[in-house]
Chains A and B, each alone.
Chain A
Amino acid sequence: MSWLDRPASETQIAHRSRLWLYAIAAAVLAFLVLPTIIVVPMSFSASQYLEFPPRQWSLRWYANYVNSASWMQATLTSLKAGALTALVATPLGTMAAYGLFVSRLRWAGAVLPILLTPIIVPVILVGIGVFYAYVRLKLVNTLTGVVLAHSMLAIPLVLMVVTSALKSFDMNQEMVARSLGASRPKAFFLVTMPQIRFSLVTAAVLSFLTSFDEVVVAMFVSGGDNSTLTRNMFNALRDQIDPTIAAISTVMIAISSLLVALAQLFGKSRRRT
Chain B
Amino acid sequence: MSDRPNAAGLRRDALRERLGLFGLGLPALVLVLVTMILPVGWLFWLSFLADDGSLSLVHYQRLVEQPSYGRIFRATFEISAIATAICVVLGYPLAYVLAQLPLRAANLCMIGVLMPFWTSILVRTYAWLVLLQRQGLVNTWGIKLGLWEQPLALVHNLNGTLIGMVHIMLPFLILPVYGSMRAIDRDYLKAAANLGASPTRAFWLVFLPLSLPGLFAGALIVFILCLGFYVTPAVLGGGKVIMVANRIANDIEIFFNWGAASALGVVLLVLTMIVLYVASRLTQLGRVFGGHGT
Contact = CB atoms under 8 A, between A and B. Distances in A.
Interface of A: 7-13, 21-22, 24-25, 28-29, 31-33, 35-36, 38-39, 42, 49-52, 92-93, 95-96, 98-100, 102-105, 107-108, 111, 114-115, 117-118, 120-133, 148-149, 151-152, 155, 159, 209, 212-213, 215-216, 220, 230, 233-234, 237-238, 241, 245-246, 249, 252-253, 256-257, 259-260
Nearest to A97: B25
Contacts of A38: 127, 131, 137
Contacts of B227: 122
Contacts of A21: 93, 96-97
Contacts of A159: 28
A92 B28 contact: yes
Which 6 residue pairs are nearest across A and B when measured between Cβ atoms? A122-B228, A129-B39, A99-B24, A103-B21, A25-B97, A213-B120
B27 interface: yes
A22 B261 CA distance: 46
Contacts of A126: 36, 39-40
B116 interface: yes
A252 B17 CA distance: 45
Contact of A125 (B97, B98, B112, B268): B268
Contacts of A249: 120, 122-123, 126-127
B115 A9 contact: no
Contacts of A122: 227-228, 245, 265, 268-269, 272
B24 A253 contact: no
Contact of A233 (B90, B94, B126, B131): B126
Given A117-B36, A237-B122, A111 B29 contact: yes
A250 B111 CA distance: 18
Contact of A132 (B123, B258, B269): B258
Interface string B2-44: 0000000000000001110111110111011111111110110
21 contacts: A25-B98, A28-B90, A35-B131, A35-B167, A38-B137, A93-B28, A98-B21, A104-B18, A105-B18, A115-B28, A118-B32, A125-B40, A128-B258, A132-B43, A149-B35, A152-B32, A216-B230, A237-B235, A241-B133, A249-B122, A252-B119
Interface stretch (B55-63, B64-72, B188-196): B188-196
Given A33-B112, A115-B28, A249-B123, A129 B43 contact: yes
A151 B193 contact: no
Given A133-B38, A155-B31, A216-B231, A128 B252 contact: yes
Interface in B173-218: 186, 189-190, 192-193, 199-200, 202
Interface bin, chain B: 35 or more
Contacts of B40: 121, 125-126, 129
A267 B195 CA distance: 47
B200 A13 contact: yes
A95 to B, nearest CB: 4
Interface in B95-135: 96-98, 100, 109, 112-113, 115-116, 118-131, 133, 135
A241 B130 contact: yes
A122 B40 CA distance: 11
Contacts of B129: 237, 241
A147 B45 CA distance: 26
B170 interface: yes
B248 interface: yes
Contact of B130 (A117, A127, A246): A246
Contacts of B200: 13
B160 interface: no
Contacts of B43: 125, 128-129, 132
B39 A96 contact: no
Nearest to A264: B111
A252 B120 CA distance: 8
B276 interface: yes
Given A21-B97, A32-B170, A92-B28, A123 B126 contact: no
Contacts of A131: 252
Nearest to A92: B28
A111 B119 CA distance: 31
A237 B126 contact: yes
A129 B22 contact: no
A29 B94 contact: yes
